[in-house]
Chains A and B, each alone.
Chain A
Amino acid sequence: MDEFKTVIGLEVHAELDTKSKIYCGCTTEFGGEENTHVCPICSGMPGVLPMLNRKVVEYCVRAGLALNCAINPYSRQDRKHYFYPDLPKAFQTSQFDQPLCLKGYVDIVADGQPKRIGITRIHIEEDAGKLIHEVGQTRVDYNRCGVPLIEIVTEPDFENSAQVHAFLEALREILLYTEVSNCKMEEGSLRCDVNLSIHRVGEPFGTRTEMKNLNSFSAAVAAVQYEAQRQRRVLSAGGKITQDTLRWDDAAGNNYVMRSKEDADEYFYFPEPDIMPMVLSDGYIDRIRQTLPELPAHRRERYVSQMGLPLYDAQLLTVSKFISDFFDQTVAAGAQPKSVSNFIMGDIMRLLNERGWAAEKLPISAQSMAELLSLIEKGAISNSMGSKVIEIMFDEAKSPTDIVQERGMAQVSDAGAIREMCRQVIAENPKIVDDYKGGKVKAITALVGQVMKMSRGKANPSMVNQLLEELLN
């Protein structure tokens, strides 16, 4: 019996997908030779001043609106002080008591159960640099200094790792759809810290620990499970949890103490005097609201309830905003939702995979796709011929109609011509005909295949079937 309850809250850092840094014009591009994406401002030279990148505010507000937050009409930045070589100013410009976004939520489904996770706040801040430890020396790379981040702080609403995982997936999707962050985990664009405590049912909350260095969703899940079990073991054995900051070691699958409460954080926060307060008008917030795309959860709901697609299709189609947009545009151009979905999940995904292309590189427009599906629906080409046309469209910028015409791929629906081919196949395959007449009804498929082969795939298969039956009986 589980007598303990687990309480979990998250702090997620997402790197914003702006072109330039938060306080200077340097590029935010990942990688680059050490200390080449730097200037006097982001490397903290004496005398420099920050100039806030407006896009950073806009992106944070966009994330806030997508996460159902209230937007703070008056917000400001604060300095958070600590000494570390990757922080060239010895303070991180962040937000303390006046963050841009407050009180939002994300609805998730974990283990089949719906759950609402509260968002406490979202604020903007700058990233720090990177230390490169070598034998006998440590070097510092400031390329990442001043790359804009948002920190999303949740309420302590999670009970288990499944909910944490579902939340991170949902958050990632929303940040991708709103184009706030590229969410590349491998580039550190999405990182999370976990706060976790456990307590016996009916008792007050326990002492919490904070765990850092969770660089993948699987690491977050493993770390939550590990820490919940560790605390359970300690408490079950009559021990006490100390309020430590832990570092997760993903390779080892365990954590260790980075610092304990004795050296608790003292950041000497104070209002950033070099950046004027941010005063956001209702009009500004509304304009950003109007640019928000339809979010993935809503799209899935629409695909299932309004378009009648299976949930499986809806989930696959919404994995990427580009594909989902492509689907919607193709349907809007007159195609049947299920046919579009089938072709996307089948041929298009396969061809993209084979070429190793991101969805955004899809060389087919929604208009062309709808045109192709209309050719199939009208019976001008067969389904299987449709697949061939798509493949050609991946390599040649031609309309499906032109491709079908140029290559003579149109389906033959001329009853006379098909009847003639059927007669010929019956005459050439007496053994199969005998089987069929002897009661092996399925033998007819072999004859259909022969006719299709003879027509080089262009004969209308249902007509072939019908005429063969007619001739044989």
Chain B
Amino acid sequence: MSQHRTAGEDLALLTAHEASRCLAEGKVSSVQLTQRMLDRISQSQNNVFITVNLKALEEAAAADARRAKGEVRGPLDGIPMALKDNISTQGLRTTCASRMLADFVPPYSATVARRLSDAGCVLLGKLNMDEFAMGSTSENSYFGAVKNPKDPQRVAGGSSGGSAAAVAENLAYFTLGSDTGGSVRQPAAMCGVMGMKPTYGRISRYGVVAFASSLDQIGPITKDAEDCALVLAAIAGKDPYDGSSLANPLPDYLAALEGGAKGLRIGIPKEYMGEGISPEVRAAVEAMAKTLEDQGAVVESCSLPRTEYALSAYYVISSAEACSNLGRYDGVKYGYRTKEYKNLAEMIEKTRSEGFGDEVKRRILLGTYTLSAGYFDAYYKRAQQARTLIMEDFRKVFHQYDVLLTPTSPVTAWPLGQKHANPLELYAMDVCTVSVNVAGLPACSVPCGLDSQGLPIGAQFIANTLGEAVLLRAAAAAEKGGSV
């Protein structure tokens, strides 16, 4: 933030706000920015995009024409970006990285896609992900695994792996992902970029293909906190098409960046720093805490005793909702349909068996089981009770702290294919991120240095309901402090 790079350097390396300034100063056109991104996308080897928008240059030219007429729509007008492929885009296929929707072209656009388009953004294309956002490696894709741009032998994290990799590899100035249990924050951490999951309801879910309705939330993945504030301001707010979207007015997110660390009360919940967290990650987070403390923040240890329930509650609730939400893929109306069948029941069975990948089927089976008559009370109802307890924990600590600081992921990016054999071990990797979704709170992951292998580490800030502004303040302060 302190020094602004200009068009003199590689256009691809600019942040969105730097690119915006270059556009405003007439040093570069949206067509140039877009062409640079398209060139890089075509050269990329990391399987980041599923679909490239053939109209991107057209949209960029329209943005340039607006600018020429003095009709600029705002700071994001003309900025090329990309969307996770579970965000519906009218006329551009939206696959959810599934064979089931490999050829599906939505007849309408998600509210976030429309808002970005209204803000003048250029849509570069749709980003690879775990099928139906189920996974934490972006390997569960019908279109193949996303490779981590920092080390192509390793996973990019997930499920928004394509969204994080695109920003890390400078294939888009920012992207949107979706976060049900950490799917924005964790890949952002693994790819060394910033990712925010706002408060449940802060951003409309309309048009985002549902995984777990009570947990899903859209979030920006950006190169820095200022970009995050710009994107958040463009997409947040009440949507008449989403009954769960919140009407609370938007604070001035850009102004929040200037808050600084001085006086910020930071709690470090001990349950997030114990067993299972790699020593290098723990040390990096502690070092960031120290830097913030040096800038005037008050850092203390605190406790969220019910954290241990979060992972189980998360998998019960998310699988139950997923099994319900994914029932509609039956081969009747759209998407994949099996070739040969003797009757209706067989058509639906074969369509779903062939159209879904293993992880999706695993979650559907899990959800079906927990929702079965006789098991509902033991699983779903108890998970909802645990949810209440977890929220209570957070409510208590937020009397004392403005933000909590934790690792985003217990470990850095692991090699592709490594954790395929053991789903439970993989599920345990979500331990730092799921509580936030279960409680509906906002959180963000910011870059927190590199481990000894040179792989990015992510630190997570968690705030109270609608505390996006204080997250941005903390994230900007952390950036200013410099990485470890």
Contacts and interface: CB of A to CB of B under 8 A. Distances in A.
25 contacts: A45-B334, A46-B96, A46-B104, A46-B106, A46-B328, A47-B87, A47-B88, A47-B110, A47-B210, A49-B205, A52-B243, A83-B327, A85-B344, A88-B328, A89-B327, A90-B324, A91-B324, A140-B332, A266-B372, A266-B373, A270-B320, A273-B214, A273-B321, A274-B210, A274-B244
Interface string B30-54: 0000000000000000000000000
A88 B325 CA distance: 11
Interface in A31-81: 40, 43-52, 79, 81
A320 B448 CA distance: 75
B327 A45 contact: no
Nearest to A23: B243
Interface in A264-312: 266, 268-270, 273-276
Interface of A: 40, 43-52, 79, 81, 83, 85, 88-91, 140, 266, 268-270, 273-276
Which bracket fits the contact residues of B? 35 or more
Interface in B183-206: 205-206
B373 A46 contact: no
A90 B244 contact: no
Contact of A50 (B104, B243, B334): B243
Contacts of B208: 47
A52 B243 CA distance: 8
B88 A46 contact: yes
Question: Closest 8 CB pairs between A and B?
Answer: A90-B327, A273-B213, A273-B214, A268-B371, A46-B209, A47-B207, A47-B209, A85-B332
A90 B372 CA distance: 16
B297 to A, nearest CB: 37
Contact of A46 (B94, B205, B242, B323): B94
A268 to B, nearest CB: 4
Nearest to B215: A273
A48 B206 contact: yes
Instruction: Tell which of B209, B324, B371, B373 has the most Cβ of chain A within 10 Å.
Output: B324
A51 B86 CA distance: 21
Given A46-B96, A270-B321, A273-B214, 6 more contacts: A45-B108, A46-B88, A83-B327, A90-B328, A269-B371, A270-B380
Q: What does DSSP make chain A's interface, helix, strand, loop or mixed?
A: loop
Interface in B75-95: 86-88, 94
A268 B372 contact: yes
Residue from B206, B208, B244, B328 whose CB has the most chain A CB atoms within 10 Å:
B328
Nearest to A24: B241
A81 B327 contact: yes
B327 A91 contact: yes
A276 B333 contact: no
Nearest to B106: A45
A45 B86 CA distance: 12
Nearest to B335: A46
Contacts of A49: 205-206, 241-244
A89 B333 CA distance: 10
Nearest to A268: B371
Contacts of A43: 333
Given A48-B207, A51-B241, A270 B324 contact: yes
Contacts of A83: 327, 330, 345, 348
Contact of A276 (B107, B244, B345, B348): B244
A90 B324 CA distance: 8
A286 to B, nearest CB: 25
Contacts of B86: 47
B292 to A, nearest CB: 36
B101 interface: yes
Nearest to B327: A90
A46 B334 CA distance: 10
A79 B242 CA distance: 17
Interface in B317-354: 320-321, 323-324, 327-328, 330, 332-334, 344-345, 348
A268 B374 CA distance: 10
A343 B205 CA distance: 61
A49 B244 CA distance: 10
Contacts of A266: 372-373
A362 to B, nearest CB: 41
B33 to A, nearest CB: 29
A93 to B, nearest CB: 11
B103 to A, nearest CB: 13
A40 B107 contact: yes
A50 B206 CA distance: 9
Interface string B359-392: 0000000001001110010001000000000000
Interface string B402-446: 000000000000000000000000000000000000000000000
